[in-house]
Structure 1
């Protein structure tokens, strides 16, 4: 066979009516894909740079306008203040004003008290609001233990409060004040009762000039005797040294001073668990001595075993 008749691997056949330099038509699937792509126009190349330039240019322009309106001020401080004021006015016109205040964790603190502490009203510039100062003012409120504030632009302040827990009612100078575990005054108990707060009815009372400073140690000791704590209705701080507890059945428990108090309460819990001492007809239990407990009975009290002794002393033949 002649070499001229051998197949050429670079040979590209042409269709009838098609020029030698023209590309062959793509397959049917490629043509369909091309038609589908042509229906979605790509973003012009100039769009992204223009968008970035607008993000940078608009605030810069606002700042320049504010500075130009204040350049004639007599001092640098006044110039900067005027520029800042102009910038805030410009941002306010763009919608960065207070529209809503969301408060989470508020149970006892009045909403009006929170708003007064913030010192801001609807329509004020939210960017001019000082978060640090507002946080400090909120944490000065009696019920508030800690606070956090954040802006949620364009117009919302989000506030989270952690409130103190009421633990007792301090009776002093004919007043009743709700205090927390650390003895800090929270609110007037009478006012809370007038508002319908039912929680304060379950709080024990503490009596004494310096009782709030000592209540934390007492509560910590009572936490370790859960069978006794719910029965305590009041605690009297005696001679600025020790506590007398009043129980729900009218029994007075005289506790020792200092570090002996927790041990005495554990002793009371053990005595009641084994001998049901709090169910007897007694008026007081003296636990001030570390090695003994003294029970004071009422005038008509009869301790276990006394009935048998009384029966032995009766004259024979006499019926009762």
Structure 2
């Protein structure tokens, strides 16, 4: 690929105007334009002629000849410029595009190529443009990993739309939370938005289980299970953040914190701690 640099114009005495030189491909392209216009006329006003078997064949031949003219005029693929690619494999992207150097640029079916690109697991959307005379421009928007979804006893990588991105080789995404529940990916964006209001606490959440398709249980990095309510989970999360900030509740010897009741806090402690609390005078 070439890097084209526009140099600043030097301050010189104004010269006599020169005749503008057209690119070499412009004049042959004028002939090609006539042929393409003829094709458009066949498709528009002369539709009734297509009842003859010879007309489609003639039109296809005419189109092929027109594309050959554009190719001879220099309108061929020399570069594929891709923007937005991060995780999408470059080799796979080019293979799916199915474009070769020297192909007629105007002969590329950009809509079909776009659909093929959007079938790639990492590609959420794609835009393809022909940029005369030699470049096929591709801009893709990649899917953003949201979480690992436990499905059929296996973890898969999903995005915020619940679309499965990867089924294998997910070790690099082990830092993402694990979602459990059939509808968990669909409901997770709202939950994660709530959790982000307390980022330090959010970073300690290892898994989220959707219970009864209505509310969430959170598993923290130290094994503590936190139960959020169906109504106002954001308020309960803010309450937990305050408890952690002021009392370090997650550092206590507890196994579960139930936030489903707005007027009280229910805490379940470890069996050894419960036994010690029942018998404070005995050394266990």
The normalised TM-score by structure 1 is 0.69
Equivalent residue for 1:138? Answer: 117
Deviation at 1:297, TM superposition (A): 0.5
CA distance in 2: counterparts of 1:296 and 1:108, whole angstroms: 44
Alignment partner of 1:179: what SS?
Answer: strand
Q: Which protein shows a greater Rg?
A: 1
Equivalent residue for 1:9? Answer: none
Equivalent residue for 1:217? Answer: 190
Question: CA RMSD of the aligned region, Å?
Answer: 3.4
Residue 191 of structure 1 pairs with residue 169 of structure 2: yes
Equivalent residue for 1:29? Answer: none
Deviation at 1:287, TM superposition (A): 1.0
Partner of residue 241 from structure 2, selected from 269, 284, 294? 269
Contact 2:156 2:170 survives alignment (8 Å): no
Contact 1:63 1:83 survives alignment (8 Å): no
Higher relative contact order (Cα pairs below 8 Å, separated by 6+ residues): 2
CA distance in 1: counterparts of 2:141 and 2:252, whole angstroms: 44
Residues 143-162 of structure 1: pairs in structure 2 closer than 5 A: 143-162=122-141
Partner of residue 263 from structure 2, selected from 286, 291, 297? 291
Deviation at 1:118, TM superposition (A): 1.9
CA distance in 2: counterparts of 1:160 and 1:41, whole angstroms: 42
CA distance in 2: counterparts of 1:97 and 1:118, whole angstroms: 15
Q: Which runs of 5 or more structure 2 residues have no equivalent in the other structure?
A: 1-14, 39-51
CA distance in 2: counterparts of 1:153 and 1:64, whole angstroms: 18
Residues 180-206 of structure 1 show CA distances to partners (whole Å, capped at 9, x for unaligned) of: 123221112x3243xxxx3x0210111
Alignment partner of 2:219: what SS?
Answer: strand
Deviation at 1:285, TM superposition (A): 0.3
Equivalent residue for 1:251? Answer: 224
Equivalent residue for 1:128? Answer: 107
Equivalent residue for 1:97? Answer: 76
Residues 24-63 of structure 1 show CA distances to partners (whole Å, capped at 9, x for unaligned) of: xxxxxxxxxxxxxxxx9997xxx88xx78x9876445456
Partner of residue 116 from structure 1, selected from 92, 95, 120? 95
Contact 1:227 1:269 survives alignment (8 Å): no
Equivalent residue for 1:204? Answer: 177
Aligned residue pairs total 255
Residues 222-268 of structure 1 show CA distances to partners (whole Å, capped at 9, x for unaligned) of: 122223210000111223332111101110001112x3222211111
Residues 53-102 of structure 1 show CA distances to partners (whole Å, capped at 9, x for unaligned) of: x98764454567998xxxxx964443332222101112212332222222
CA distance in 2: counterparts of 1:165 and 1:126, whole angstroms: 32
Equivalent residue for 2:44? Answer: none
Q: Which runs of 5 or more structure 1 residues have no equivalent in the other structure?
A: 1-39, 68-72
The normalised TM-score by structure 2 is 0.77
CA distance in 1: counterparts of 2:200 and 2:178, whole angstroms: 18
Equivalent residue for 2:209? Answer: 236
Deviation at 1:161, TM superposition (A): 1.6
Residues 89-131 of structure 1 show CA distances to partners (whole Å, capped at 9, x for unaligned) of: 1221233222222222212212233223323223321111122
Cα 1:62/1:165, change in 2 over 3 Å: closer
